[in-house]
Amino acid sequence: MVRRLTRLVGVLTAILAAIAVTPSRAADKVAPTTVRIGVIGILAEAGLYVAAERGYFTEEGLNVEFLKDMVGADAFPGLATGQIDGVGGSFGPELANAVLRGVRIKLVAGLNSYIPGWDAGALTIRKELIDNGRVKDWKDLKGLKIGITAPLPNMTDFFASRYLAQGGLTFSDVEFVTVPFPNMISALKTGGIDAAHTSEPMTTLAVDNKIAVKWRPVSTYAPPGLTVAILQFGPSLLDKAPDVGERFVTAYLRGARYYDEALARPDGKAEIAPILMKYTPLKDRSIYDRISFSYAPPDGEISVTGLEAMSTYYATHNGPNAGDVSKLVDDRFQKAALKRLGLYKKSGG
C-alpha cells in the first residue's frame, strides 16, 4: 500500500510539474513579441512581405505589424519614443536632419539595391522624343525639361546630376520642373516634362500606354550597388531589445533570399505576385509579368560608398551634412543574422 501511494505521489508530482511548465510554454506560443515597422507599401520592401507570408517572423517569435506610410520625417518622432520600432526608407536629407537633432536611428540592413538585371528604376523619356530622333544619346538631354520632386535636395535631383554627367551636362543645361513623384507619368503624357527618373510600376505603365520609353536603366547612372531602400531601427530595438532586432533581421534575410531565388525560377512571378498584390497598391496581376523587380540584397548589405555619394551631394547642394555616414550603419544585427544563416550561396551553386 505504501509503495502504491509512493508511486501515486510520484506520478502526481510529475503531472503537477508538467502543468507548471506548460502555461509558460503556451504563453510563449500565443504571445509573440510585437514589432511595429513603418513602410511605404512598395515593391522595394518585397523581402519584408515575403518573410511575413512565409512565416519567418512567426518562427522567430515575432508578431510584425506593418504601419503604412509611417516613414521618413513622419516616422522619426515615433521611432524616438518607441511607438514604432523600425522603418523602411531611403537615405535622404530628412534622415540626416533627424540624426543631427539627436534622434537615435541606425541603418541596419539593405532592403533594395540597384544592380544590373534588377533595374526597378529608369530614366524615362517622353516617347515622341525617341520616335523623332531628338534623344539618341546622353548629350541629347541638353535643353530638355527634367522632372524632379521638392523640396531639394533629394534623390531625384541627385540622380539627375548623375545621368546628366553621362553626357557631360550640368543642371544649367536643362530646365527643371517640380512634379510630385506620383504625377511624373501624367507630366510626361502632357509634355509638362520630357524626362524623369521613375520607378516600377510607373515606368511599365508609361510604356504600356505609349507615353514614354524606358530609356536607360538606373544601374547605368546610379552609384554601383546603391542601396536605395534601407531598414532602419530606433532605440527600442537598438538599445532595449537588440535580441528582437537580431531575430527580425534574420527572418527578413530569409524572406529576401527566398524572394530573389523565386524570381530566378520560371514560375517565380506567379508565387511572388500575390504577396506583393496583398501589401502594395499594385493589384493588377498581369503587370507583374512585365515589370522589372526590385533586388533584395540576400545578405542585407548596405553600400556605404553609395551613401557617401548621396551624402556629399546633399551637403554641397544646400542640404544637411551627415558627416561620416559609415557611423549611421549598425551592422551587429546583420552580423548576428549571418552567423545563424551563413553567407548567401545561390541554390545549386
| pLDDT tens string 275-326 | 999 999 999 999 999 999 999 999 999 999 999 999 999 999 999 999 999 9
Q: Distance (Å, rounded) from C-alpha 31 to C-alpha 224?
A: 43
Structural domain ending residue among the three candidates 186, 220, 254: 220
Q: Which residues contact 121 (CB under 8 A, 6 or more apart)?
A: 114, 159, 197, 198, 199, 200, 203, 217, 218, 222, 228
Is 11 part of a structural domain of the chain? no
State the CATH number of the domain containing residue 100: 3.40.190.10
pLDDT in tens, 206-238: 999 999 999 999 999 999 999 999 999 999 999
pLDDT in tens, 105-135: 999 999 999 999 999 999 999 999 999 999 9
Whether residue 183 is found in the same domain as residue 238: no
> In angstroms, what CA-CA distances link 289 with 72, 174, 348?
31, 35, 25
Q: What is the mean pLDDT of residues 36-40?
A: 97
Whether residue 157 is found in the same domain as residue 51: no
pLDDT band for 29, please (50, 70, 90 cuts): low
Is 100 part of a structural domain of the chain? yes
Domain around 270 = 32-114+225-341
Number of domains forming the structure of the chain: 2
Whether residue 40 is found in the same domain as residue 138: no
Structural domain ending residue among the three candidates 204, 220, 236: 220
Is 21 part of a structural domain of the chain? no
Q: What is the mean pLDDT of residues 154-173?
A: 98
